Amino acid sequence: MKIDIDPGAGFCFGVKRAIQLAEEALTRDGTLYCLGQVVHNEEEESRLKNLGLQVIDNEFFKTIKGTTVLIRAHGEPPETYKIAGKNNIRLVEGTCPIVLRLQDKIRKSYEEARQHKGQVVIFGKRNHPEVIGLTGQTMDEAIIVDDEKDIEKIDFTKPVCLYAQTTKNKDVFELIKHKISMGTDIKNTHFDANNTICRHVLNRDEKLKGFAKGHDLILFAGGKHSSNGKYLFSLCQAVNNHSHYIGGVKDLNPEWFEGIQSAGITGATSTPEWLLEKIADEVKALTES
């Protein structure tokens, strides 16, 4: 049986960078706190934990002093930096540079919007860490639009400046943008739409569908809580009925491979390459035995 690993799979640049920074700090200091999980992948979390990385939450973060904390690729709101400054906490800045630039744009738009009674709108998932970091640039005044219903929260008599969480779906963004533009057109209001979805995510969809179509069976490796994983898996399922979502090698079922000529292995943006390779080795062992 032919076994292929999706060349587009593996960590995105931002996550790779944050992990590299964590590994460097762990080699130097032996232990490191991280505010929230670096990646939503149980296997990678456990690898980093074994290296000395300790995941903490916001409440615990407020209680520590004089130590080092990693900021993950999703970024943090300004409040986190204030607390770190006050409590003499050294931050390892793992925020993805693309997210940092987006935070900066949103902060500037917010400052402008305040002068013109405008509104900053963020198309994103409520309570997602990246979105918390983005709305933090607006004193939490940005309007979060998670789906079409949320558009009702926008006041169409006032200017609107729209941004997108970097990992959102481009088709839904276009739909939201269209609906907002209808409201702003009627009221003759200024509307500035910024598609800030990351290129890594934008390009992935079509390539992934092509990869899933080109194999008899797809093994999609992702964490239980990875929203990006669930979304990307749905793309595979849409074009290949033999798609399976797995956490790791323990979830493989030998029966899946009966009569299968080719298997494609892929995963979420938070799935490490080493895990895909481990799965490929295990499938090889299962099907050759």
- Residues serving a catalytic function are 130
Q: Radius of gyration over alpha carbons of the chain, in Å?
A: 21
**Separation of alpha carbons 281 and 265, rounded Å:** 11
Residue 71 C-beta: closest distance to ligand SF4, Å: 12
Residue closer to ligand SF4 by CB (options 138, 228) is 228
Q: Which is nearer to ligand SF4, 11 or 257 (CB)?
A: 11
In the complex with ligand SF4, the residue whose CB is nearer, 41 or 189, is: 41
Stretch that binds ligand SF4, among 26-34, 43-51, 103-111, 195-203 (CB under 6 A): 195-203
Residue 99 sits in the site that holds ligand SF4 (CB under 6 A): yes
Of the residues 167, 189, 266, 270, which one makes contact with ligand SF4 according to CB under 6 A:
167
| Nearest distance in Å: CB 97, ligand SF4 | 7
Q: How far is the CB of 218 from ligand SF4 (least distance, A)?
A: 21
CA distances from 19 to 53, 64, 70, 189 (A): 10, 22, 10, 44
Q: Total binding residues for ligand SF4 by CB under 6 A?
A: 14
Kindly tell me which residue out of 3, 5, 71, 96 binds ligand SF4, with binding defined by CB under 6 A.
Answer: 96
Instruction: Out of 32, 201, 208, 276, point to the residue binding ligand SF4 (CB under 6 A).
Output: 201
73 scored as a contact of ligand SF4 (CB under 6 A)? yes
User: Shortest Cβ distance from residue 92 to ligand SF4 (Å)?
Assistant: 16
| 166 near ligand SF4 (CB under 6 A) | yes
Which of 183-191's residues contact partners 24+ apart within 8 Å by CB, and which partners? 183/151, 183/154, 183/156, 184/156, 184/160, 186/156, 187/156, 187/157, 189/156, 189/157, 189/158, 189/159, 189/160, 190/118, 190/159, 190/160, 191/159, 191/160, 191/162
Task: Dig out the tokens for 172 from the structure.
Answer: 């839904």
Residue type, 144: I
Which residues, in sequence order, are CB contacts of 195 under 8 Å at separation 6+? 164, 170, 173, 177
Residue ranges that bind ligand SF4, judged by CB under 6 A: 12-15, 73, 96, 98-99, 166-167, 198, 200-201, 269
